Chain A
Amino acid sequence: MAKTDSLQGSLDLLVLKILSRRPRLHGYAIMAAIANTSGEVLRAEEGSLYPALYRMEEAGWIRAEWIKKDTGRRARVYELTAAGKKQLGAEESRWQSVSVAINRVLREA
């Protein structure tokens, strides 16, 4: 549970980034990608991913589509929109400037 907090406020950024590299992923794959690429450090409560996805979808950053999987089951896959690409840029630069600022505080304090 403690690990959940490590994603506070940056889930959007991570999801957008993952989708920008690998389009058309479903929810579980996004979650798995975050976990894998972060070396299992960044983990969220998996259920909370979905409200975040829907919020970004309503905001128009990502769009979703139902596809048929090989197993015969349906899956909802997500990809970035143009607005999402812009948003990703904005979030990335915000993250960069915040982390630079925090690092400076840590170094100089």
Chain B
Amino acid sequence: MSLWSRISNAVRGERLNREIEEELQSHIDEAIASGRDPKEAHRAFGSALHAREASHSIRVAGWLESLLADVRFGWRQLCRNKVASAAAVLSLALGIGSCVAAFRLIDALLWRPLPISNSSKLYALSRKLIGPEGRPIEDGYWATPDFKVMRDAVKDQADLIAISDADRTDITWTTDDDMEKAHVVYVSGNMFPLFGLEPALGRLLIPADDRGPGASPYAVLSWDYWNHRFGRDAHVLGRSLHIGDQTFEIIGVGPRDFTGTEAGTVTDVFLPLSMNSLGTEDGVSWHHTFLMLKTGVNPSTALELMRQHLSAVSRAFEADCSTCLRGMTKASIGRFLNKTLVFSPAGAGISELQKDYRRLLGVLGLLVALVLLIACVNVSNMMTAQAAARAQEMALRISIGAGRRRLVQLILCQTALLALLASVLGALFAAWSAPFVLSLVNPPDNPARLALPADWRVLLFGFGLTILIVLLLGLLPALRASAVRPVAALKGGEDPHSPRRLMRGAIALQVAFCVLVLFLSSLFVTSFQRLENRPLGFSTDRLLLLETVAGKGQFPVVWNQTAEALRAAPGVSSVAISGWPLLGRIQINSDISINGAPPSPIPTFFRPVSPGFFSTMKIPLLSGRDFRPEDASPGAAIVNETFVKTYFPGQNPIGRTFERGANQPLNKIVGVTPDIPDHDLREPNRAMFYVPFDEIDDKSAPTVAGFATFVLHTDAQNPLALANSLRQLIAQRKNGLRVSNITTQLDLVRDQTVRERLIAMLAAFFAAVALLLAGIGLYAVLNYSVFQRRREIGIRLAIGSTRAGIVRIVTLDAFLMIAVGGCAGIALGFGAARSVESLFYQVKATDADMIALPACAILLIALVATLPAVLRALRTDPTEILRAE
């Protein structure tokens, strides 16, 4: 009560003074009214001033009152330079907002612990090995039987949990007609209990659901899926869900905030591991393995022992596994078995998105931090200039008895006001920009989904950042101002150059940061442009892709008849079949052996295609012919140029043969095509062969295909316009084929550059902001310096200095600083570029034009920024200046 009244009194100080005055006056009046002599009454009262001051300080929280006075004063200072203050607030807001937005993204994808108990005790198991292409790779997938052996090996100290990728899967709810996509994850039954998760409805999967292959046809929905697909209808329990020929019963809904362990993807359906047919295969690695330490186990000692133990167990399993090593050469068996088991902390989940975007987010963090620093330097310069202009005021305050603490408080208050205004605006910017940037990570059929809550982690970060900025900006000017020596300042200043020296250093710093941002962004933008403009070798124009599935499989004749039916549809000009889409997610390789020799060390990728594939994709044949309807696989093959260079250097490949592995049937090369990017736009040209889509077994009987993609060239500009009618056309044939996904070749090409486009866009944006801020900073510093040196310039002009001389003294320092800063920026840029090389495409940090671009940009902006100051210096009228002195 009492503190509160003192605080509220501090806010209404004027009124309080009036009240005290009134009460004291009424005392005197009362005394006179009671018949006392007015003079005697005044004398008996004592010092009215003293009574008033003593009363005031009792009734008011003094610290608050002085703080309020400082805030009011600071506000008036800000209002006095409206344009400068607004610029400062806006640039700081942009910097703070970008930093907070970047933090939200980085935190949500990489740092935020999963909403499970004991997330800090969760590790992911993976193996490092030399991959089939001779490069080191990390394999995070495990075979279920291997997982079970390992689980039993460490069961006293830790629990192993199996969780598959959240694959987009075709599911149906009622009839076969309405097929939809859902992210389906297979988990071992111990996941939900070990994660300490409680159902929102029904029950979750339990260890008993692992009992045997196919024995637990139960499904658990995620809360998110239950919410957006079923509107939180409790009757969903007991409904059945079909995947392929399997039927699952919905038994429960997971807790509200748990979206699976894959950061960036929201899981829709959880199924028991035992229900996946891959679960019994010794040689198929298909799910992740997590390890959760039991309570009381010390990670620093137990983990390494467990790692060695598990490594030995898993190696023994794979060495004994007959199907794992089938068809491998001795060398590749050695390579396959020579693996290093790695534990990595997985408390924040694991995902491909994390791997793909870790570096990008690192770059983003660097860029926003640099922009914030540039903005801070600008504002700090502004404060320094204002403090220098107020040196006399400060000196006066000190001479009449202001404490230095009060002066520091005065300036910090002003800075805090700036920073607070900026952080409010910045928070708005961050609230908008973080989801916006996330929405740009948007491969159309699988956009990234992350929860971006504005919770205490984000608030704490924003608060810390604001405090840091206040100290960064305010402390230096505050200490300088409070160190003013009144005598010297009132005499007209002791060292007029000292604030300028500080500001010159600031220019160098700012230019260095700005050049670093420009340099990195020119690398990213050029990478993206080169990737976008990379010659594809095939046409993406009007190409529609129908990714089609066929349950247990259909014979080539059914596929070919369907292709024929599609060809007859209106608006379709040509149709071909490909095993899987070009530049899609699937790639399959096979060994190559020539003339019965042992297979080559590196397997070669292939693609089954129907006749007409090359003409539909506008891929020319360099020699030979296309497949004919009677060609089958094995039998005929078409190869690319790199295949010829690798296996038949200097020879005519047409008519030559190769086998897919030792003692396999022969394939005769009938044609040669140019190299095209098959799986990844960034990949170097690699050997590749095509086989006919029609496949036969060793008795020359046709074999079935479970999935394939129809490639259609349409007449209309927008091929997706035909999507629905063609989907129905295939469904109406009722031959077991169903369209699972529809896309265009153009979209698949665009998907390849989502990350590069995002980083190029963000980098270009921040480069523009950095350039603008640096320009403003440079302009302000030079302008201030000319203003401060007007006496010197006047005198120089009066004693006959040339205009060129004036220009030189005004700009020489600045350009020197720009040169120093620029070199420092490029040097920093080389260091930074090395750590993000994996994001570049055909661009090197040492390319001359990569350095020239930022250098030219900063020079140009420097010229523009110095022009007003130079003109002002040249317009100086010596007589006027000297008269004013």
Contacts and interface: CB of A to CB of B under 8 A. Distances in A.
A43 B29 CA distance: 19
Instruction: Name, among A27, A31, A54, A59, the residue most crowded by chain B CB atoms within 10 Å (CB to CB).
Output: A54
Contacts of B31: 28, 46
Contacts of B400: none
Interface stretch (B52-60, B410-418, B529-537, B634-642): B52-60
Interface string B27-71: 101110010000000001111101100110011000000000000
Nearest to B48: A47
A48 B30 contact: no
Contact of B58 (A43, A58, A75): A58
B46 A50 contact: no
Contacts of A73: 26, 29
B44 A58 contact: no
Interface in B11-34: 19-20, 22-24, 26-27, 29-31, 34
Nearest to A53: B55
B20 A45 contact: no
B2 interface: yes
Given A26-B26, A28-B31, A58-B6, A47 B46 contact: yes
A23 interface: no
A41 to B, nearest CB: 15
B1 interface: yes
A39 B30 CA distance: 20
A73 B25 CA distance: 11
A95 B166 CA distance: 82
A47 B58 contact: no
A46 B27 contact: yes
A55 to B, nearest CB: 5
A57 B45 CA distance: 21
A27 B2 CA distance: 21
Interface residues of B, number: 26
A60 interface: yes
A51 interface: yes
Contacts of A43: 44
Contacts of A48: 46, 51, 54
Interface of A is mostly: helix
A74 interface: yes
Interface residues of A, number: 23
A86 interface: no
A76 interface: yes
A55 B55 CA distance: 8
B439 interface: no
B879 interface: no
B54 A51 contact: yes
A18 B796 CA distance: 81
A27 B34 contact: no
Interface string A38-78: 00000101111011001101111000000000000111100
B612 to A, nearest CB: 95
B60 to A, nearest CB: 10
Contacts of A46: 27, 31, 44-46
B55 A51 contact: yes
Contacts of A27: 23, 26-27
A100 interface: no
A101 interface: no
B791 to A, nearest CB: 53
Contacts of A28: 26-27, 30-31, 34
A32 interface: yes
B44 A45 contact: yes
Interface in B289-312: none
A58 B26 contact: no
B5 interface: yes
A26 B30 contact: yes
Given A54-B59, A58-B5, A47 B26 contact: no
Instruction: Name, among A29, A32, A46, the residue most crowded by chain B CB atoms within 10 Å (CB to CB).
Output: A46
Contacts of B29: 73
Nearest to B1: A60
A78 B707 CA distance: 93
Given A55-B58, A59-B2, A60-B2, A50 B22 contact: no
B1 A54 contact: no
B469 to A, nearest CB: 37
Nearest to B53: A51
A58 B59 CA distance: 7
Instruction: Name, among B2, B45, B48, the residue most crowded by chain A CB atoms within 10 Å (CB to CB).
Output: B45
A76 B44 CA distance: 20
Contacts of B24: 47, 50
Contacts of A55: 58
A32 B34 contact: yes
B209 to A, nearest CB: 66
Nearest to B54: A51
A27 B50 CA distance: 17
Instruction: Name, among A26, A58, A59, the residue most crowded by chain B CB atoms within 10 Å (CB to CB).
Output: A58
A53 to B, nearest CB: 8
A76 B29 CA distance: 13
Contacts of A31: 27
A57 B16 CA distance: 14
A74 B22 contact: yes
A47 B50 CA distance: 8
A26 B23 CA distance: 9
A27 B29 CA distance: 12
A27 B24 CA distance: 9
A50 B51 CA distance: 7
A27 B25 CA distance: 11
Contact of A74 (B26, B27, B47, B48): B26
A93 to B, nearest CB: 24
Interface string B435-449: 000000000000000
A58 B48 CA distance: 21
A58 B2 CA distance: 5
B26 A51 contact: no
Interface in B582-632: none
Contacts of A51: 51, 54-55, 58
Contacts of B26: 26-28, 73-76
Interface in A1-46: 26-29, 31-32, 43, 45-46
Contacts of B59: 54, 57-58
B20 A50 contact: yes
A47 B55 CA distance: 10
Contacts of B19: 76
Nearest to B26: A75
Nearest to A31: B27
Contacts of A57: 59
Nearest to A45: B46
A59 B3 CA distance: 10
A90 to B, nearest CB: 18
Instruction: Name, among A28, A47, A51, the residue most crowded by chain B CB atoms within 10 Å (CB to CB).
Output: A47
Contacts of B30: 26, 28-29, 75
A54 B58 contact: yes
A38 B46 CA distance: 21
Contacts of A60: 1-2
Contacts of B54: 48, 50-51
A102 B23 CA distance: 38
Nearest to A51: B54
Contacts of A50: 20, 23-24, 27, 51, 54-55
Contacts of A26: 26-27, 30
Given A26-B26, A26-B27, A46-B27, 16 more contacts: A27-B23, A27-B26, A28-B27, A28-B31, A28-B34, A32-B34, A45-B46, A46-B44, A48-B46, A48-B51, A50-B27, A50-B51, A50-B54, A51-B54, A73-B29, A76-B19
18 contacts: A26-B27, A28-B27, A28-B34, A31-B27, A45-B44, A45-B46, A47-B47, A47-B51, A48-B46, A48-B51, A48-B54, A50-B20, A50-B27, A54-B59, A73-B26, A74-B22, A76-B23, A76-B26
Q: Which 9 A-B pairs give the minimum distances between C-beta atoms?
A: A47-B51, A28-B30, A45-B46, A47-B46, A51-B54, A54-B58, A46-B45, A47-B45, A58-B2
